[in-house]
Chains A and B, each alone.
Chain A
Amino acid sequence: MSQGVFVFDGRLDGAFLESVYEGDIEHAAMVFDQFLRTIPGQLNEINDYYQSSDIENFRKNVHKIKPVLSYVGLTALTGKAAALESQCKQVGSIQDVSGLYSSFSMELNEMIPVIENELAKIRNL
């Protein structure tokens, strides 16, 4: 795999990705791959806690994936996850976070194909 300059998709936070990988594109590929393998299960788990109104475990699992989102360049979604986590501590019912959760979930699902595409691009270098 070439270690030349790789330009990430503009929808990802390229500056942050550069600060963590410092051009080590193999490391980035490893993390992107692991992210794509683990995130569907983690999102299902979060959704199960949402459906069962288990706000504490819902919050804990949002907390768990929060930094990981940044490691694939989704820093804006890390911010949204932080807001969601914070709201969980302030509200009484999981219904009170439904709006934010819905938009977080939708945006994340929209970005997964972008991550898949980035991984494919890296592998094709």
Chain B
Amino acid sequence: MKLRAIIVDDEPISRQFLEQYCSKSGKINVSGSFPESASALYFLQNNEVDILFLDVEMPGDTGFQLLDKLPFMPKVILTTSKTDYAYDAFQYNVTDYLKKPFSYVRFQEAVNKANEVNVEKALEHEKEDIFIKSDGKFIRLNYDDILYIESVGDYVKYCTMEKKYITHSTLKAVEEKLGKGDFMKVHRSYIVNLKKIKNIEDNTLMIGNDHIPISKVLKSEVMGRINLAV
């Protein structure tokens, strides 16, 4: 199956270049090509993709600002003519960093990397537990015991019925690790276990005894993921 990708770059020749490379690879279907972040965000709020080829400096939101607003995290391949963004790239856990101009061989390497990560991600979905480091110990948490995960500054808090565990990580990294099975990011600070939701009222859901906010832009996706009787 081909990978789905979009391209976000304000420079038309750079977009055309990537479109051509994607077509040549035979592995990627380009679902959209956008000159700025706003139109790409609108597309991504309604469509999922596997790979996001993303420039950084563009009119309006930068590539990183676009990532902050995404409802999900595809594999990101940065395409930029500067190397200054290496630190940010690391922080955002991007799959690869293509410094423009780049050759077809270099492009293929990046795509292969994204493809490998996709396979790993598929395998992650099969897993039923996760080890987290908390209080100097590696602790096994069964997915089924996790109610939700909350972002708290540079840390995340795993909440189960019995206990809360704090570990040094980011919500994006947790989202990647848990995959899309029963977990969903419902707000920029929360990932919830969909199986544990007791009720939803307006833009708030209840899990255990806690009320979790639902971001307005993600509300329709949440409603789409639960087994809603009609």
Contact = CB atoms under 8 A, between A and B. Distances in A.
A64 B101 contact: no
A90 B25 CA distance: 41
B103 A67 contact: no
Interface residues of B, number: 18
Interface in B24-66: 24, 57
Contacts, number: 51
Of residues A20, A22, A31, A71, which shows the largest number of chain B Cβ atoms within 10 Å of its Cβ?
A20
A68 B13 contact: yes
A63 B11 CA distance: 10
B16 A30 contact: yes
Contact of B16 (A24, A31, A64): A31
Contacts of B13: 31, 34-35, 38, 68, 71
Contacts of A78: 101
Given A34-B12, A67-B81, A20 B101 contact: yes
A16 B102 CA distance: 9
A67 B81 CA distance: 6
A67 B24 CA distance: 20
Contact of B101 (A27, A34, A60, A67): A67
A19 B106 CA distance: 10
B85 interface: no
B11 A64 contact: yes
A67 B14 contact: yes
Interface string A63-98: 111111011000100100010000000000000000
13 contacts: A20-B104, A22-B104, A30-B16, A30-B20, A31-B17, A34-B12, A63-B81, A63-B82, A68-B11, A68-B14, A70-B101, A75-B101, A78-B101
Interface of A: 16, 19-22, 24, 27, 30-31, 34-35, 38, 60, 63-68, 70-71, 75, 78, 82
Name the 8 nearest CB pairs between A and B, nearest first.
A67-B100, A70-B101, A19-B103, A67-B101, A67-B81, A68-B13, A66-B81, A64-B11
